[in-house]
Amino acid sequence: MFISFEGIDGSGKSTQARLLAESLRAEGREVVLTREPGGSPGAEQIRRLLVEGRADRWSPETELLLFTAARRDHLERTIRPALDRGAWVVTDRFADSTRVYQGVARAELAEAVEDLHRLMIGTEPDRTFVIDLDPAQALARATGRASPAIGAPTTSHTIPPENGNAAQSHREAVTPAQKDGRRGPSTGTDKDISAEDRFEAMGLGFQQRLRDGFRALALAHLDRVRLIDGSGPAEAVAARVRAAL
Ligand SMILES: Nc1ncnc2c1ncn2[C@@H]1O[C@H](COP(=O)(O)OP(=O)(O)O)[C@@H](O)[C@H]1O
Ligand SMILES: Cc1cn([C@H]2C[C@H](O)[C@@H](COP(=O)(O)OP(=O)(O)O)O2)c(=O)[nH]c1=O
Q: 13-47 pLDDT, tens per residue?
A: 999 999 999 999 999 999 999 999 999 999 999 99
Complex ipTM more than 0.95, yes or no: yes
**Considering just the CA atoms, what is the radius of gyration of the chain in Å?**
17
The reported pLDDT for the residue numbered 194 is 54
The reported pLDDT for the residue numbered 152 is 38
% of the chain at pLDDT higher than 70: 77
Nearest atom, ligand 1, residue 131 CA = 22
Report CA 160 to chain centroid distance, whole Å: 18
Domain residue limits at 150? 2-243
How much is the average pLDDT of 136-163?
54
Q: What is the CATH number of the domain that holds 171?
A: 3.40.50.300
Distance 84 CA to ligand 1 centre (A): 31
Burial 207-227 (b: 16+ CB within 10 A, else e): bbbbbebbeebbeeeeeebbb
Pocket of ligand 2 (CB under 6 A): 9, 14, 36-37, 67, 93, 97-98, 101-102, 166-167, 170, 195
Question: How many domains, in total, are found in the chain?
Answer: 1
Whether the CA torsion 161, 13, 71, 53 is positive or negative: it is positive
CA distance 147 to 232: 11
Q: Among the bound ligands, name the one nearest to the CA of residue 173.
A: 2
CA distance 209 to 206: 5
Q: What digits encode the pLDDT tens for the residues 54-82?
A: 878 999 999 999 999 999 999 999 999 99
CA distance 143 to 129: 24
Q: What digits encode the pLDDT tens for the residues 105-141?
A: 789 999 999 999 999 999 999 999 999 999 999 989 8
